[in-house]
Structure formats: structure tokens, C-alpha cells
Amino acid sequence: MDRPGPAEDAGRLRAVLQQLLPLLRGRSPHRDLTPSRLAALAELAAHGPLRVGELAARMNIALSTTSRMVDLLDGCGWIARRPDPADQRASLISLNDDGAALLGTVRRETTGILAEEIAALTADRRRLLHEALPALESLAERMRGRSAPSARPNGRADAVV
């Protein structure tokens, strides 16, 4: 039997990611933290402070969608806004202590959920998963390096934090 090609592997990987992400979100007690909001918090943690336009470009979503999301994040008390020293008409957005604490909590919770599920796999499956991680990390890095900032047509961002 021939080994599967990249297209088959890509289809299977896409399908499993589409299954895992909602399952992880469904077990979270943070119902007000949508995937887009979580993705924004993760971007701000990794690259903030940012202007709203920079956040939109990093998340690959429309500026108007990002502006509304930033207003919601601000209303939830998870971010701080301050004037941009380079342009007083613009604001810089960053995580505040509550936002950073929430992001840390969600990351610990999802890591714990995945750890429990991975522990339930057979030793051979755990070994295979462990051996696949460097390839998956390399794939993510390669795709991140190639991504061009452009608005997604549906204005949504999925979060893997």
C-alpha cells in the first residue's frame, strides 16, 4: 500500500483540528470568551501593545471587526488602551492584569484537558503524537512566516492558545 500524499494528510489534519478546537471550547467555563476574543488576547500577549489596525492585520480579520472586538474586550475589563506616543490620535491596546490572568487560566485549563486525553491514549499513540510535534511546530512556523495580512471574508479568527 502506498503512503498517503500531502493532500490526504492535509485533509486529515484540517479535519482533526476542526474537531478538537470546538471540543476544547465546549469544556471551558469561560462562555463569554469567544475564539476571536481569545485569539486577540493571545496576539496582544505575544506582540502587544498594538494599534487596532496592527491587531487586525496579525489576526487576519477586517479592521471594523477588530474595532468592535476591542470595544468588547475593553468592556470586559481585559485590555488597557493608552495614547500612541508616535501619534496621539491613535491608541495602543495591551493586555491588562485581568486579561493576562484570564489567558493564563484558559491556557492551563486547555493544557490540562489535552493532557488528560493524551494520557488515555495507548503508549504507542502517545509516542507517535510526541514524535509528530516537531513537524507540526515546523509547519505552524512555516505557515506563520508565509501569511500575508489580509482580511478574512467571514471576519472571524480561530484561537489556538
Q: Determine the pLDDT at residue 23.
A: 84
Instruction: Give alpha helix (H) positions in 77-157.
Output: 97-119, 123-146
- Which positions ≥6 away from 89 have C-beta within 8 Å? none
Q: Determine the pLDDT at residue 25.
A: 79
Q: Determine the pLDDT at residue 29.
A: 81
- Whether omega before 149 lies within 30 degrees of 0, making that bond cis, reads no
Q: Are 34 and 129 in contact (CB under 8 A)?
A: no
- Rounded Cα distance between 161 and 154, Å, is 21
Residue 114, all three cell numbers: 489535552
- Rounded Cα distance between 146 and 53, Å, is 19
For residue 48, the surrounding DSSP H or E stretch is: none
pTM value?
A: 0.78
Place of cell 494599534: 51
Q: Which amino acid is at 87?
A: D
Q: Determine the pLDDT at residue 147.
A: 65
Place of cell 488597557: 80
Domain segments of the chain as ranges: 30-146
Q: Determine the pLDDT at residue 26.
A: 75
Q: What CATH number belongs to 30-146?
A: 1.10.10.10
Backbone torsions φ then ψ of 155, nearest 5 degrees: 70, 20
Q: What is the pLDDT of residues 59-82, one digit of tens each?
A: 999 999 999 999 999 999 999 999
What residues of the chain score a pLDDT lower than 50? 148-159
Residue 123, all three cell numbers: 503508549
